């Protein structure tokens, strides 16, 4: 996940342009992963280590000490292999990955103070690359006025670009669509920005 200074500037400019016509605020967050899943390799390695002795007990005359040593080696090797990031993620059920990503998005919504705008019309655009997860969370003041299909349209624009590896372009496309929605339902009143116009990377 490498974004250049120019990429950050392009996203910041898009946010600034979108917010010119609305009291709404747009916050963008790009995460490498929503969780480290450090427990997953240990769980899988433990399961393999628990299963490993049984064939040896049944089919070999090996001593308890030797079987225990094999069990220990299986645990260590499996844990090291499963700690490799792509494999670690592959071992996590999709529903669990999405659950972690959703929780991380809500945490960023609070952390970035998206709910602290005067008109309660803040919008968070959150992307987690490892989980292949994208979500728009709108504050209460704007969420009640906008159909979910409009947010989904912004998500579709975002993910369409990101599939081609154009992360900044994806954010810009989503920002522009969110800007149109916000301008329609929370038109500008000349007030200053309440939140920074930037892309946060976490």
pLDDT in tens, the chain (202 residues): 678 899 899 999 999 999 998 989 999 999 998 887 888 888 888 999 999 999 999 899 999 999 999 999 999 998 888 888 788 888 888 888 899 999 999 999 999 999 888 788 899 999 999 899 999 999 988 998 998 899 999 999 999 998 888 999 999 999 999 999 999 988 887 677 778 999 999 9
CA dist., res. 154 & res. 134, Å (int): 10
What does the domain layout of the chain look like in residue ranges? 5-35+94-201, 39-90
**Helix or strand (DSSP H, E) at 14:** helix 5-19
3-state helix, strand, coil in the chain (%, to 5): 60, 10, 30
Contacts of 56 (CB under 8 A, 6+ apart): 62, 67, 70
CA dist., res. 96 & res. 169, Å (int): 28
Q: What is the pTM of this model?
A: 0.81
Q: Would you say 48 and 71 are in contact if contact means Cβ atoms under 8 Å apart?
A: no
CATH architecture classification, 5-35+94-201: Roll (3.10)
pLDDT at 93: 86
The three-state DSSP-derived secondary structure of 148-170 is: HHHHHHHHHHHHHHHCCCCHHHH
pLDDT at 1: 62
């Amino acid at each position: 996940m490498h974004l250049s200074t120019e990429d950050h500037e392009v996203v910041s400019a898009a946010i600034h342009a979108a917010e010119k016509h609305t009291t709404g605020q747009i916050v963008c967050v790009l995460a490498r992963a929503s969780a480290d899943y450090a427990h997953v390799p240990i769980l899988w390695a433990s399961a393999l280590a628990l299963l490993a002795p049984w064939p040896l007990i049944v089919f070999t005359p090996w001593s308890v000490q030797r079987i225990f040593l094999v069990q220990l080696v299986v645990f260590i090797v499996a844990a090291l292999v499963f700690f490799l990031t792509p494999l670690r993620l592959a071992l996590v059920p999709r529903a669990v990955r999405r659950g972690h990503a959703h929780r991380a998005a809500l945490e960023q919504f609070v952390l970035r103070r998206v709910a602290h705008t005067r008109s309660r019309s803040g919008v968070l655009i959150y992307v987690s690359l490892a989980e292949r997860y994208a979500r728009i969370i709108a504050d209460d003041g704007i969420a009640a006025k906008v159909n979910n299909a409009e947010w989904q349209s912004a998500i579709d624009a975002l993910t369409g670009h990101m599939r081609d590896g154009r992360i900044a372009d994806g954010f810009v496309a989503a920002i522009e669509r969110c800007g149109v929605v916000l301008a329609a339902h929370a038109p500008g009143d000349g007030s200053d920005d309440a939140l920074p116009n930037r892309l946060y990377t976490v």
